[in-house]
Amino acid sequence: MALSNELAKGGNTPDHVSTTATVTMEPVEGGVAVTKIHLECSARVPGISQAAFDETANGAKVGCPISKLMNAEISLNAVLES
């Protein structure tokens, strides 16, 4: 996910970002495909508001080149640590 880059571009350099992806693979005609990806993300970002963090995280999810590449449902749970 492009979250670190998007935060930094907005002037909010994170202390850390941790993301785990859970991938669902299901049988489809002709084989198996990745059908869903769920991202669990936590970040410590000094000085950012919850609203700005949520907006940046969702924007990073939508704009991520890997997300665009995947033909799968992608969900995100992003947590701003205090």
pLDDT score of 69: 82
Domain boundaries, the chain: 3-81
pLDDT tens for residues 25-81? 999 999 999 999 999 999 999 999 999 999 999 999 888 887 778 888 999 999 999
pLDDT score of 70: 80
CA-wise closest residue to 76 among 39, 50, 24: 39
Q: Which fold has domain 3-81?
A: GMP Synthetase; Chain A, domain 3 (3.30.300)
Q: Which helix (H) or strand (E) holds 24?
A: strand 16-28
Tokens of 24: 């669902």
pLDDT at 1 over 70: no
CB-based burial, 26-65: b 16+ in 10 Å, e otherwise: eeeeeeeeeeebebebebebeebeeeebeebbeebbeebe
User: Structure pTM?
Assistant: 0.82
